[in-house]
Structure formats: C-alpha cells, structure tokens
Amino acid sequence: MFKQAKIFYIHTISPTHVGSGSDLGIVDMPIQREGHTSFPKIEGSSLKGSIRETFERRDMTTSIKTHLTFGYDDSNAPRLVKEKFIEKKAQEFSGALGFSDARILLFPIKSAKDIFAWVTCPSVLNRFSKDLKISNNEQNFTIKENTITNDSKINIDSGAVILEEYQISISKDNNTQIIAEFLSKELDNEDIKEKLIIVSDDDFKDFITLSTEVITRTKIDNTTGTVDKKIGALFTEEYLPSETIMYSLALASDLMARVEFNEAKELATADKVMNFFTSTIPSTIQIGGNATIGKGIVSITIGGSHAD
C-alpha cells in the first residue's frame, strides 16, 4: 500500500500516440481510452515504462536508485549495476514507486478567437478534485457548465464561443475563474486563465472523440523506394493533439529491498522515494510511440511546485 501520493501534470508538446493496438474501427491504430467514458488516458504501465526509461539513462548512482525505486530489471541494468545487485543478492523485491493511469484534464479545441481554447467538463473536474484529495491537496470546486473566466479572450460579443464549427452559448463565472487560477498556478501557465472553458459532459465527449488528430501514414520499402506491399499501402494513427493536458498520481511506499548499500538507505522511506522521483524526473520526456519522428514529447510539472 502506498504511503504518499503526488499529482503531476503531462502537457503534450508534440502530438502523442500511446496506442491500444490495432482496431477494426475507422482508425487502424487508436489511442488508449477509458472503456466507460471514452476519455483518452495513458495506462499506468505505459507511463511507468516511459518514466523508467528516462531515469535509466542517468549516471550509475542514479541508475542504481532507479532499479531500487522501480524494481530490479536484469535486462535493462548496465554491467556495473548488475554486479552490485548480484554481489548483494538483492534482485528480488517490489518497486517502491507506482503510477495511476494518466487522465484527461484539459483538451485543446480550435477557437474562432485566440487560436484555441482549453475545454473541460464537470465530470472531469469532479474526479480531478477527488484525485487531488488523494495527494492531500483538497480543493472544493464549484462547477458550472458553459462558463468561461472573467479574463477570457475567447468569447464573442453575442455571449457565445465558436469552437470548431460549433457555437456554444457562454457566460463568465467567478467560480470558473477560481478553477482557472488554481490550474494556472499548478501548471505555471497563465494562459489557462484566458483560455479555459467548462462545457457540458456531452459536448466534451464529442470534442475528445471527434477532434483528436488522425494521420494517414505509409510504409516505404527501402530497397524499391515504393510502398511496402507486405505492410500495406496506407494505415491511420490517432494522436492526442499538442497542448493536451493530463495528470497522474505518483504513488510511493517504503522500499522493500533487502539490501544494505547506501543507495537503498537513501530510499528507505516513502518520503525519500517521492523526493527522488520529483527531483530526478526531467521537465521534458518522451511518452508513447514514434519517438524517431518527434512524437510524444511532453512537459512534466509536479503539482504544488508553484503554490504559495
């Protein structure tokens, strides 16, 4: 059982594809989605693997701590790390750090004013509030759909916004301003105050279903320079668009490794494990597929880092 939880945010810099495998639907390779809501998500296992890979590329001392924190993995341990773990006979233990599925928080939608808006909905904000409580950051939001902030730059004079080809009646709301101010502080992003819209659950579901990026790709045979007939002519991939904002919970417990070397002592408690995570994770990492064509580059922000 975890003893400490910390919320962190994932802001897509480039389109991101964390796939669910092939599909018989319109898109050949869709993104991961929740079964009961169809909201985009990133499985905790996928997220943990991406973060672990980032940590493993550090120096040996950090690499040892990575194998202690995430669980020892013989296949990915460099020689010097293997020798240390074998010497101490300490390869079998559970990791001290886990992650929840990453959930959608704000989704970017093309706007008639100010380029794009970040949309969310009551269902998303209500469960975000519950997840904040797990990380000991209690926020009681008052949520009203079809509202914008007092600082908004996306509304038009007739009391409406135009998102994609849809016009939605809208009003300014002080409670939405409070939510935007909290999120802008958490993410260190002042633009949220000007771009946030709370739409209805139904409208949000339509946006996150119909407004992801779907890209058509083809596989080229290196020997002929033409379409690879074994793979097929064309296939489609779905991506979360740039500027999507998600969040996850890092879950820390006491280290269970039966070892005596110094790195283990430095990670003995859940507090130390969490501190290692928050102090080591880079501000930018890569998640999901197609890394060699620049996809899946995201920024990471630890929740509460910019709190007063």
The number of domains in the chain is 1
Within a domain: 264: yes
Residue 221 within any structural domain of the chain:
no
Mean pLDDT lowest for which of 51-60, 221-230, 268-277?
A: 221-230
- What per-residue confidence (pLDDT) applies to 22? 65
pLDDT at 233: 66
Query: Which range, 26-40, 252-266, 274-288, is most confident?
Result: 274-288
Quote the CA–CA distance of 212 and 102 in Å, as a whole number: 17
DSSP one-letter code for 293? G
pLDDT value at residue 149: 96
CA distance 281 to 273: 12
Q: Is 307 inside any structural domain?
A: no
Strand, coil or helix: what is 152? coil
Average of per-residue pLDDT across 255-274: 86
In-domain check, residue 308 = no
Q: 125 in a domain, yes or no?
A: yes
Q: Is the pLDDT of residue 305 over 80?
A: no
84 within domain boundaries: yes
Domain coverage including residue 178: 4-215+236-302
Asked whether residue 58 is assigned to any structural domain, the reply reads: yes
Residue 307's pLDDT is: 45
What's the token pair of residue 227? 């379409």
The whole-number pLDDT of residue 24 equals 54
Tell me if residue 240 falls in helix, strand or coil.
strand
DSSP-derived 3-state class of residue 12: strand
Residue recorded with tokens 């509304």 = 155
pLDDT tens digit string along 179-207? Answer: 999 999 999 999 999 999 999 999 999 99
Q: Is residue 200 in some structural domain?
A: yes
The per-residue pLDDT for 270 is: 95
Q: Residue 157: what pLDDT?
A: 74
Distance CA 304, CA 37 (A): 28
Q: Which of 250, 246, 248, 247 is nearest to 98 (CA)?
A: 250
User: pLDDT tens, 82-139?
Assistant: 888 877 666 777 889 999 999 999 999 999 999 999 999 999 999 999 999 999 999 9
Better pLDDT: 256 or 226: 256
